[in-house]
Structure 1
Amino acid sequence: MIKMKCFIEKLKFVAKLRKRFDLLKKNFIFAQKLMTMFSEKAFKIFEESIAQYHIADDVYQPFVNPYPSTDLLNHLLYRKNWIDTVQWHYEDIIRDPNIDPVAALDLKRKIDASNQDRTDMVEYIDSYFLDLYKEVKPLPEATINTESPAWAVDRLSILALKIYHMHEEVNRPDATPEHRSKCQEKLNVLLEQKKDLSTALNQLLDDIATGRKYMKVYKQMKMYNDDELNPVLRGSK
């Protein structure tokens, strides 16, 4: 009787292992079909966007997305970085000590609107990933990450801008050797950060694709642009 119970327990254990193996295999096959080295591809798109912006180098230039909406992820990534790039230069302009106060107020409102666009774009990208991984069955011990994939993408986009502008400083002909040397040190740190962040983002997507982690997205509840949540806007109605 005892031997029979032990045998049954072993069968249950083997069945449990087989079920886990089948799930891992299914998720792995799914992951293999997905994008490889996503971060590297995304960063190249960010570089394209930054380079295109700096041809005219004007925050009011028209936006043209070279990626059609049918190429959805690349379309979203390019748009995301363009928003970040324009806002980067808004932030430069508003720090001009001689800026006209009326122009500064107008620019501050543009920055607020840009921040909202940036947040919306992050949520669009997360929605893309949620749909992409909807067939993945999380493992029983799957954990959640501290940030969603799209917020890591957001940081990578900003990092691309930092690298671009720090590289400009390293090569600025009117800068002192000391300035260029300090900027080179900073650039080296940024490039190391790019490597680490890219690796971490690729690993996160692989973990989600194979069921080791699962996505859970909370919408960013921005209050300052909502005339029902911002008391100043509410009072002016």
Structure 2
Amino acid sequence: MFTELCTKVFNQAIADFHVHNDVYKAMENPYEKAAIEHLLYMKNYIDTVQWHLEDIIRDPKIDPVAALELKRWIDRSNQERTDMVEYIDSYFLQQYSQVTPQAGASINTESPAWAIDRLSILALKIYHMQEEATRVDATPEHRAACQAKLDILLAQQVDLSTAIEELLQDIANGRKYMKVYRQMKMYNDPSLNPVLYAKK
């Protein structure tokens, strides 16, 4: 199943990042550029770095200048995450380009890649909640509370994976069709952000 591949690659990217646990270390993608695994790995690695940037920026003692630099890094990361989702959706558009939708076929509320984006974030939540559930310096109450949350996250992973597989099957069989709307983020575009174009 495609979601099994996703989870395998996501877990690999998370594990690879945590070898050094360093947001400044450059990603080394182990997959060929033409492979869908390359996009999945890159997508999750970007998510993983951003996860840790979000932790760092919440340090109450952070230097304000450093915080501003991190905020701009997070903004760039959000754009990269969106780009990766659109690349993955392009893969699916190609995969199903020969499918003729059935009469009455419907569109889904989100594209396959945006659902896979949620699966990527879920893999990160599971990894870090597992860390908390087994933290030796935490109280038994903390570990028990985190284990309960981990159980829910794992159930959510199964449910989301099942829903994605059903969506892909519906698209393959023509019961649903894909229609991808590019996100067209405005704040990064100097011609669309009034704060930026007003300064010209």
Superposed counterparts of 1:134-145, under 5 Å: 134-145=97-108
**SS of structure 2 residue aligned to 1:138:** coil
Tell me, in whole angstroms, the C-alpha distance in 1 between the residues paired with 2:34 and 2:52.
29
1:106 alignment partner in structure 2:
69
Length-normalised TM-score, structure 1 = 0.83
- 1:59 is aligned to 2:27: no
- 1:219 is aligned to 2:195: no
Length-normalised TM-score, structure 2 = 0.99
AA in 2 matched with 1:153: I
**SS of structure 1 residue aligned to 2:137:** coil
Aligned length: 200
Tell me, in whole angstroms, the C-alpha distance in 1 between the residues paired with 2:149 and 2:29.
31
1:84 alignment partner in structure 2:
47
Aligned-CA RMSD value: 0.6
> Per residue, is there more helix in 1 or in 2?
1
2:95 alignment partner in structure 1:
132
Task: Tell me the alpha carbon deviations over residues 89-146 of structure 1, each in whole angstroms, 9 at most, x when there is no partner.
Answer: 0000000000000000000000000000000000000011001100011111211000
Larger Rg: 1
2:152 alignment partner in structure 1:
189
AA in 2 matched with 1:164: Y
TM-fit CA distance, 1:229: 1.1
Tell me, in whole angstroms, the C-alpha distance in 2 between the residues paired with 1:95 and 1:163.
21
- 1:46 is aligned to 2:34: no
**SS of structure 2 residue aligned to 1:222:** coil
The percentage of counterpart residues that share the same residue type is 68
What stretches of structure 1 of length at least 5 have no aligned partner?
A: 1-36
Runs (4 or more) in structure 1 with deviation over 6 Å come to: none
What stretches of structure 2 of length at least 5 have no aligned partner?
A: none
